[in-house]
Amino acid sequence: MSIAEVKRTAEHKMQRSLETLRVDLAKVRTGRAHIGLLDHVQVEYYGSHVPINTVANVTVLDARTLGVQAWEKGMAAKVEKAIRDSDLGLNPAAQGDLIRVPMPALTEERRRDLIKVVKGECEGAKVAVRNLRRDAIATLKEMLKNKECSEDEEHRAQDEIQKLTDRYVAEIDKQLSHKETDLMAI
């Protein structure tokens, strides 16, 4: 493995950690409706549990309401029950074929709790990025020990990996700041 491959691998894994953080942050409810909220809701469909988006179309009707339309007539009641029974605290209401899911307003205390959750997610992402840096540097030291690179090359590569780590940690902090602003907006 070359130094360039070590850096490329580290950057790729750091990018994946950042993408995972973005997905996790999108699941944290801000009081506004977005279709990602229902991604993990499971609906019983012919004896097995499947994600809601495989049996229904989820749309945003307005800033505070989701619309869910089951593809099969008989599934509407099951979809409504699955949303109600989920841990999201939502109360869907059926209107013919359309299930309206209004987003309740968040209390100040709940917003503060969600910020703690978001900070924990971001800290986990930072730890993951730092672990990737540690692994990359260990690989570089192993290469130096095996005389696959010079000390100068290894030192330069460590500096570049540190800069890469700093860049991704700064991006994680930016994501945290953005999500905190979203959560505190009324």
CATH class held by domain 35-102: alpha beta
As given in the structure block, the two tokens for residue 66 are: 């989701």
| pLDDT tens-digit map of 113-172 | 888 888 988 999 999 999 999 999 999 999 999 998 898 999 999 999 999 999 999 999
At 186 the pLDDT is 61
| CB-based burial label for 14 (10 Å; 0-12, 13-18, 19+) | buried
Task: Tell me which DSSP letter residue 96 carries.
Answer: T
Give residue 114's Cα distance to chain centre.
Answer: 14
pTM: 0.69
Distance of alpha carbon 37 from alpha carbon 96, whole angstroms: 22
> Where are the domains positioned within the chain?
3-27+107-184, 35-102
List, in order, residues 6 or more apart from 83 with CB less than 8 Å away.
Answer: 38, 41, 52, 68, 90, 92, 99, 101
CATH superfamily label, 3-27+107-184:
Ribosome-recycling factor (1.10.132.20)
Q: Kindly give the pairing relationship between strand 48-51 and strand 42-45.
A: antiparallel
DSSP characters over 110-154: HHHHHHHHHHHHHHHHHHHHHHHHHHHHHHHHHHHHTTSS-HHHH
Distance of alpha carbon 45 from alpha carbon 78, whole angstroms: 8
| pLDDT tens-digit map of 25-70 | 877 766 677 777 777 788 888 888 888 888 888 888 887 888 888 8
